[in-house]
Amino acid sequence: MLKKSLLVAASLLSLVAAPAGAQDRYQNRPPVVVSPDLTAPWVMQLGGQQTRTRPVIYRQQIPGATRKQYYQQGQVARPQVKRRVVNPLIQPANAMRAQRPVKSKFDPQFLPQTVAYESKERPGTIIIDTNNRFLYLVTGNGEARRYGVGVGKPGFEWAGAHKITRKAEWPSWTPPQEMISREAAKGHYLPARMDGGPENPLGARAMYLGSTLYRIHGTNAPWTIGYAVSSGCIRMRNEDVVDLYERVNIGTKVIVI
């Protein structure tokens, strides 16, 4: 009888003590902090239709391991990259030849800037890299002022060394007869002469090269800078050709490569 009474008392004590112990545990647990950032990793791992995101998979990093070792140890599947064969002789800018200029777009790499440029030519010499669409005004001390240019389209490329023999502000334009005939065959009829001004394709300034028909001149189509679009002349933005015009004199050596 005594044993039975002791068992009943022990059971009652356990029933009374259990809620108190559980309540004590819940009261002392740390607070739950929910991140307000809906892109937090724990949200991203939820996936499903509600979040419309892919689960994030975290892979264990290997301390001190190189990327090659990391792949070799099977921690990450090596990405399948579709490789294309690139001709090392083709310059990046050369790809532009197959593209057509988009009106109103201008690549900021063709803005005037001072760059490192080693040359044996004297300061003041102009060197035009037609392949990469840049004109360099050598300033010396291993530097040059670089401008973006438009160059001759396929079939109108040329190279050589000349001097600036004439300079003109807002030049008039007299298309050569062969150009008039060539464009007429395409349905484009050119005027015999056009006065200088904003509508003139020679732009704000022109620098004539020797006894050739070629010039360094401005353009009223600045979005063509960086492309092979001319009939052999070197074209620049009007702002840039004015800047260059003020920096060079008649007799300046011009090398086209």
Selecting among 137, 164, 233, 248, the annotated active-site residue is 233
Distance CA 125, CA 136 (A): 8
Structural contact between residues 147 and 240, judged by C-beta atoms closer than 8 angstroms: yes
Selecting among 133, 215, 217, 235, the annotated active-site residue is 217
For 22-56, the DSSP string reads HHHHHHHSPPP---S-TTSHHHHTT-HHHHT-PPP
Q: Which residues contact 171 (CB under 8 A, 6 or more apart)?
A: 196, 200, 202, 205, 206, 217
For the chain, how big is the Rg over CA atoms in Å? Answer: 37
Active site residue 233: yes
Q: One-letter amino acid identity for 133?
A: R
- Residue written as token pair 């029933």: 15
Q: How many CA atoms lie within 13 A of 28 on its CB side?
A: 6
Active site residue 188: no
Distance CA 62, CA 71 (A): 11
Q: How many CB atoms lie within 10 A of CB 194?
A: 16
Distance CA 205, CA 44 (A): 59
- Catalytic amino acids? 217, 233
